[in-house]
Structure formats: C-alpha cells, structure tokens
Structure 1
Amino acid sequence: MWKMLVGFVVFAAIVVLVLSKTDANIDMGGEKHGIDATHTEEPASAASAPASEAAPAASAASN
C-alpha cells in the first residue's frame, strides 16, 4: 500500500514538473471570485436572446 502512495507522489511531481517546464500557464489558485478574475462570457442579455431575434441581428452585422 505504501508503494502505491509513493508511486502516486512521484507521478504527481513529474506531472507538475513537466507542466511547469512547458509554460502551460498553470494557476493552482482555484476559482477566482474577485476583480482580478477574467471573464470572457457574453452578457446575459445577448446569451438569452431567442434564436429568431439573434439570426436577423447576425445577418445585419455581416452586411
């Protein structure tokens, strides 16, 4: 049983080392809920618009 634990720790260390060496932009801080959190979501009004209203707006924007 202790061999499995040691193997897991070694594997986890290797994974963290490889990810940090490849510049994978790892953020181990968990969820962000403050001003520093970046959001790329659309506003709720645009996301909740019915498809019938969204289609003419999209075709008008492409012209």
Structure 2
Amino acid sequence: MNDVLGALDGAKAEFYRRVAAPYEDAKIADSGDVYPSLRHALFSGSWFRSLEPAPTG
C-alpha cells in the first residue's frame, strides 16, 4: 500500500512540476505577482534574516 501511495504522490509532484508550475509562471508574467514583495523577500534572503532573533544587550 505504501508503494502505491508513494507512486501516486510522486506522480502528483511531477504533474505539478511539468503542468501547473509553468502555467502559474505564465499567469504571473501576464498579470503580475499577487505577493511581489514576498517573492522578493524569499529569494533575496531578507525573509530569512527577519527570522533571526533580535540582538540582546
């Protein structure tokens, strides 16, 4: 049963990678990103820096 579920999960991930992700990228290019500042923050690394604890002392 685990083998079947693993195969289905892999197929789902592959479908998303090949079909859904390019479609989403095309729609972002057409209409703009819903969260442009979030995308910038995630890929620029500033989002990760915001998770660091504030300096003490």
Q: Same fold (TM over 0.5)?
A: no
Which is richer in helix? 2
TM-score, normalised via structure 2 length: 0.34
